[in-house]
Chains A and B, each alone.
Chain A
């Protein structure tokens, strides 16, 4: 198989028209010394059916894993519309006259993300929630007097690791953890109050990695006017359909992961990083922005804007090095939000919360209690011995994401997610075997 549309005769004709005696002569600018001899040692060519067999993957029968990637119902129209080649094969919309579809869809996405987060501005995506947090911290550090980055220990461990990677290359900023209360699973407000300062940027994930809802009013009171900069991290975007918009607590940025909006779990990627901020920060934010404007005859039109912040213009002085981002995932998010609407989004979020409540009560009946007393959205941290976890996996039940590697202080435990993709029966299986 080859996707080259030429016959051997075509190749010879073209070579001759280009002044070459043989098609192979097209490689003559490559010195002989660096040429590769013989064929590459790679597989194929394989036909489509053989490939299908090779690419077969079978998911387990009941999955309660979350931890930043969530299985939610995705209406069929999302796949149907996002796979239209006009969207999926298009390039970055640098030529607005033939890219109004991508541009308007991005603009709709930005508008809905701003509304849902309660912020004024959303960019057109970053790679994932972790890099969104890292970019948020880098933006904070570009501000005057910010030298430390505080992040709650109950923020997604992978996000904190990516943050460390980005910051360890970006100068001398240090990352400090703000601990959680061992009984509630919520941020230790006393520790927060003593750590925060005008030289610090503070980030808190809500709901946190354990699924626990943070006391946001108290947090906001503790950091507003005290922290030099602060941000809220949302790893489960569906929570935006149920709870007070994070922007209403007054942060500088709301960043996170919007995979839940219409993007499949996809074995972990692509994900959809979002970045929302206040208008005053728009010129300092990373990533692409779509703006509304007019065309030469005064018609409404869209185009990429504030590109003077970006790498292709500013090069080493850009606000970020990001170029390709997660365009098609934002289209899927826009499709999903349009398909669900306000009531649908609320109902999906409520189903998740109700499912987690149901599982909690089933477990309580069996004498198994969550690790934390704080209120949860749809994830619960539960004690679970590794042997038992392996036994569940062998039965095709994935009980959650193990916590012991990232939180050894919690012992053998998992964070278990319930979504509207699970059923009561699955919850009974899980509870019965735990």
Chain B
């Protein structure tokens, strides 16, 4: 029963923990019971009832509905997280994935159709990226990186060179060095130039007989196209090294330029970025790996092959392969959504996507460049990076700007990344933001910049309109409460 204090705090009530909802005997669900359960089950190690909450259906529904109200989704408004490509996720794709729900991967007849669709996605990704072969099994971008670097590791080992070094520019995402480490490589950071892109000269200076690969993101995390990429690829190839491309920012160049044509040997794409599948609050995503022909034998198992009767089957043999990276076929329902997205917009839609993504970013950049420090004036494509340097002396930081944006009902940009820019604000509006939303965002940023100069204290208190105020992350790490107290 609610006490007096609870009622007094009524409008501010936060959702209690599920364990504090319900009571023994509340759950009255009728479940399927096709079989007769014997009185005494003759199995070893039967336990007492599991220790999870006992709640009614309506309590479950209200609990999770109220939790959803504490979130912010792409349908709520602009989500300009740089290099995360938080674009609109078409409802159509959700509908297409419905058909897969009841299909068991062991149902060979049904899987014939599914494999046909997956094969089509492989072909389409190959065409979009200008690559020769594809594996859809990695379940996320970092999983794709790991798989790709394992492929390269296998190739250098097969070639007998035993190379162990991977060069990574200082603008790289943290997963790049982490994936290299899991794949058994040693990483070496190399600096990008003062214009924000990697120069062929820098790469040349770092090349030696131990360099297995260079890992690059193009366009990079500053939104700048790596204009010397073809020359860099040539130098790497001459040195017997591979060029790996992190496809996080592929959205900017869809239909305009293809990594394979730039000399990329191996890459991954993020289905949950470029191909509009929902991010899910942290997955499931999809991280297909694509390679040039020479690396194809090392791709993970199984492979989708024509079964010789017009259908498709899985080939589980491949002595040169790195082996399996997932117990099944990766995030199939995500792959299917990505295929539906590609087919729904077609070749013209893909190119239109890149154009609008870059135009949106350039429009916003032109509106904000005078108000915020723009550390790299180099032209950018789908995203750009600002810094908090203009607020030096006011005490206002990038964190304050990010939190203040929430009070305007925006998700903040990516902050404090890339690491080459102190106090970075990395803004990627994506192609699915209407002009009015971009204008509203620009107005919010203008207002925040003005207050940073006139009333900085106020910004330290932001956000004030969100379900909770600034969250104490230090306390969380210190007290380390990871389950219901």
Contact = CB atoms under 8 A, between A and B. Distances in A.
B72 A90 contact: yes
B227 interface: yes
Nearest to A308: B477
Contacts of A100: 14, 67, 70-71, 467-468
B476 A213 contact: no
Contacts of A182: none
Nearest to B58: A77
Q: Which of A51, A129, A424 has the most CB of B within 10 A?
A: A51
B482 A43 contact: no
Interface stretch (A143-151, A193-201, A329-337, A365-373): A329-337
Interface string A393-434: 100101011000100000000000000111110000000000
Contacts of B366: 17-19
B72 A393 contact: no
B282 interface: yes
A313 B174 contact: yes
Interface in B12-35: 14-15, 17-19, 22, 26-27, 29, 31-35
A23 B359 contact: yes
A299 B325 contact: no
B105 to A, nearest CB: 3
A311 B142 contact: yes
B385 interface: no
Interface string B327-344: 111111110100010111
B343 A315 contact: no
A161 to B, nearest CB: 4
A34 B412 CA distance: 34
B326 A265 contact: no
Interface string B22-63: 100011010111111110011111110111111101001101
Interface stretch (B83-91, B199-207, B289-297, B449-457): B83-91
A321 B31 contact: no
Contact of B283 (A1, A18, A125, A267): A125
A122 to B, nearest CB: 7
A105 B37 contact: no
A354 B37 contact: yes
Contacts of A3: 87-88, 90, 276, 345, 349, 353, 431-432
B281 A14 contact: no
A168 interface: yes
Contacts of B473: 96, 293, 303-305
Contact of B178 (A95, A316, A423): A316
A161 B300 CA distance: 11
A112 B52 contact: yes
Given A39-B255, A99-B72, A351-B35, A44 B106 contact: no
Interface stretch (A224-232, A340-348, A380-388): A340-348
Nearest to B343: A44
A79 to B, nearest CB: 8
A87 B70 CA distance: 10
B482 A291 contact: yes
Given A41-B127, A318-B178, A83 B94 contact: yes
A94 B222 CA distance: 20
Nearest to B125: A42
B329 A267 contact: yes
Contacts of B43: 213, 242-243, 353, 375, 377
Interface stretch (B145-153, B305-313, B386-394): B145-153
A400 B106 contact: yes
A375 to B, nearest CB: 6
A180 interface: no
Interface residues of B, number: 200
B272 interface: yes
A24 to B, nearest CB: 7
Contact of A86 (B69, B127, B316, B353): B69
B92 A51 contact: yes
Interface residue range, chain A: 35 or more
B73 A105 contact: no
B71 A60 contact: no
A161 B50 CA distance: 32
Contacts of A42: 124, 127-128, 342-343, 346-347, 350
A60 B182 contact: no
B8 interface: no
Nearest to A331: B281
B420 interface: no
Contacts of B476: 291-293, 302-303, 305
B49 A346 contact: yes
B248 to A, nearest CB: 10
A382 B440 CA distance: 65
A68 B113 contact: no
B249 interface: no
B214 interface: no
Contacts of B288: none
Contacts of A73: 31-32
A344 B27 contact: yes
B129 to A, nearest CB: 10
Contact of B89 (A89, A114, A130): A89
A344 B54 CA distance: 9
Nearest to B179: A321
A291 B480 contact: yes
B7 interface: no
A31 B324 contact: no
B108 A115 contact: no
A10 B482 CA distance: 49
B347 A44 contact: yes
A164 interface: yes
A99 B174 CA distance: 22
B235 interface: no
B190 interface: no
B138 to A, nearest CB: 8
A35 B344 CA distance: 24
Contacts of B479: 291-293
Interface in A1-39: 1-6, 10-11, 13-15, 17-20, 23-24, 26-31, 33-36, 39
B329 A329 contact: no
Given A265-B105, A267-B114, A320-B178, A329 B284 contact: yes
A49 B128 CA distance: 24
Given A156-B327, A351-B32, A342 B52 contact: yes
B325 A162 contact: yes
A290 B342 contact: no
A46 B19 contact: no
A270 interface: yes
Contact of A264 (B92, B101, B230): B101
B283 A328 contact: yes
Nearest to B183: A169
Contacts of B65: 81, 84
Contacts of A295: 468-472
A419 B162 CA distance: 49
A139 interface: no
B45 A36 contact: no
B342 A158 contact: no
27 contacts: A4-B353, A36-B257, A40-B347, A85-B89, A91-B279, A91-B282, A98-B70, A101-B69, A116-B51, A243-B46, A264-B333, A265-B102, A266-B101, A270-B331, A289-B482, A294-B472, A295-B468, A301-B471, A306-B480, A311-B178, A338-B63, A340-B29, A342-B51, A344-B29, A351-B33, A354-B37, A358-B35
Given A2-B345, A23-B359, 5 more contacts: A87-B281, A110-B483, A170-B182, A264-B333, A270-B333
The 4 lowest CB-CB distance pairs between A and B, nearest first, are A65-B106, A44-B346, A327-B282, A328-B280
